[in-house]
Amino acid sequence: MPETLAQLSDVHVHFPVLDGMLFPREVARVRAVDGVSLGIRKGEVLGLVGESGSGKSTTGRALLRLQDVTAGSVHFAGQDITRAPRRELQAIRRRMTVVFQDPEASCNPRMRIGDAVAEPLRVHERLTAAALDRKVAALLDQVGLDESYALRWPHELSGGQRQRVGIARALATDPELIVLDEPISALDVSIQAQVLNLLDDLRKQRGLAYLFIAHDLGAVAHLCDRVAVMYLGRVVEVGPVADVIGAPHHPYTQALLRSVPLHDPQAARARGLQVLEGEIPSPLHPPSGCAFHPRCGQAIASCRQNRPALQAFGRRQVACPVTCPAATQAAQLPIAS
């Protein structure tokens, strides 16, 4: 098995909620990430899905050390970077890059596209002006933008075009791991397909690993080796993508898959939108026990009290003692899919 490239161990990220104008004091805490352990191996694509606000981006930012962790540790290539100082991070940031969820974030409005793509190269590599131009053109070409875009300004680009600029930037320093925070959400399907094929090619050619944060389960199924499902700051299910998406075990994962829109208008009309009932929990006041229990159709009394931990279950790990009781073997369990 290839060695682990990046590892989050029991990571917590809490944000204080402040109130009071003159003397702000902490009145509550958002437990954005609440004990997450995830490893990414060399050349592996790990998908990260889950409810909006469940802490996916914060997890990605913690891995990149763009966000300090409240507790837990972060390792990259065998090195503990949990408290690494800026200078050390500089070297890491060329090996581990990011494409942000928000395409605005990767485009400085006062920088031409070509300069934005060249920026990481200027920081990390010494190239002649001509070599730099060639490299920028090649990077733009890889993401389906012709050379003429180098001279344009971010505001002249559509959302999807800006997102591709972000990917070109992330590729510039030849990284080993890219954190992709919804890199294709802003793209139309045909460009999505291009970008997914591109990401797939790059990993095959260069052995790149990705943390692929996404909402599109079709895309996750297509690109990822494993997938982790988050709910309210915790991982509730993680395992090989074919297992988890093919036969979800955690009730939240099951609900997630039921909510995927159908691609056939007649069937879509007939079935309607499947809305997961119940109130969306607040990370300010998480429900007791299993955070999903107030919305779960399969909850039993103990779900209200005990917070389930991830348990190995066949090739995956699931945090649900109801659908995946610890003592049972995977093969014997009838699981609704």
Partner 1 sequence: MTPALEVASLAVTFAGERGPVVAVEDVSLRVAKGRTLCVVGESGSGKSVSILATMGLLDPERATVQAAALRLADVDLLALPPARRRAINGDRLAMVFQDPMTSLNPYLRIGTQLTEVLEVHRKSSRKDAEQQAIAMLEAVGISAPHARMRAYPHELSGGMRQRVVLAMALLCQPDVLLADEPTTALDVTIQAQVLKLIQDLQARTEMAVVLVTHDMGVVAHMADDVAVLYGGVVVERAAVAELFARPRHPYTRALLASIPAAEHRGQRLQAIAGTPPSALTRPPGCVFAPRCAFAAAICLTGRPPQEALSPDQTVRCFRHAELADA
Rounded CA separation 64/111 (Å): 24
CA proximity to 228, closest of 216, 241, 215: 241
Among 58, 97, 185, 317, binds ligand ATP (CB under 6 A): 58
Contacts of residue 5, defined as CB under 8 A and 6 or more positions apart, other chains included, come to 40, 41, 42, 44, 76, 77, 176, 177, 209
Q: How many CB atoms lie within 10 A of CB 19?
A: 10
Instruction: Check binding of 185 to ligand ATP (CB under 6 A).
Output: no
Q: Which range, of 89-97, 167-175, 265-273, 308-316, touches partner 1 by CB under 8 A?
A: 265-273
**Chain residues 51-80 in contact with partner 1, contact rule CB under 8 A:** 51-54, 57
Instruction: Check binding of 194 to partner 1 (CB under 8 A).
Output: yes
Instruction: Check binding of 158 to ligand ATP (CB under 6 A).
Output: yes
Which tokens hold the place of 149?
Answer: 């875009």
What element of type H or E holds 27? strand 25-41
Among 48, 178, 219, 324, binds partner 1 (CB under 8 A): 219
177, 5 in Cβ contact below 8 A?
Answer: yes
Among 79, 90, 108, 197, binds partner 1 (CB under 8 A): 197
CA proximity to 207, closest of 77, 42, 1: 42
What is the secondary structure of 186-208 as a DSSP string? TS-HHHHHHHHHHHHHHHHHH--
Among 255, 296, 303, 324, binds partner 1 (CB under 8 A): 255
Instruction: Check binding of 43 to partner 1 (CB under 8 A).
Output: no
Among 4, 12, 14, 15, binds ligand ATP (CB under 6 A): 15
**Chain residues 53-72 in contact with Mg ion, contact rule CB under 5 A:** 57
Q: Which range, of 72-80, 152-160, 192-200, 273-281, touches ligand ATP by CB under 6 A?
A: 152-160
Instruction: Check binding of 104 to ligand ATP (CB under 6 A).
Output: no
**Chain residues 86-115 in contact with partner 1, contact rule CB under 8 A:** 101-104
**Chain residues 275-304 in contact with ligand ATP, contact rule CB under 6 A:** 283
Question: How many residues touch ligand ATP (CB under 6 A)?
Answer: 20
Q: Is 71 helix (H, G, I), strand (E, B) or coil?
A: strand
Rounded CA separation 187/69 (Å): 31
Residues that bind Mg ion (CB under 5 A): 57, 101, 159
Residues that bind ligand ATP (CB under 6 A): 15, 30, 32, 52-58, 101, 155-161, 188, 283
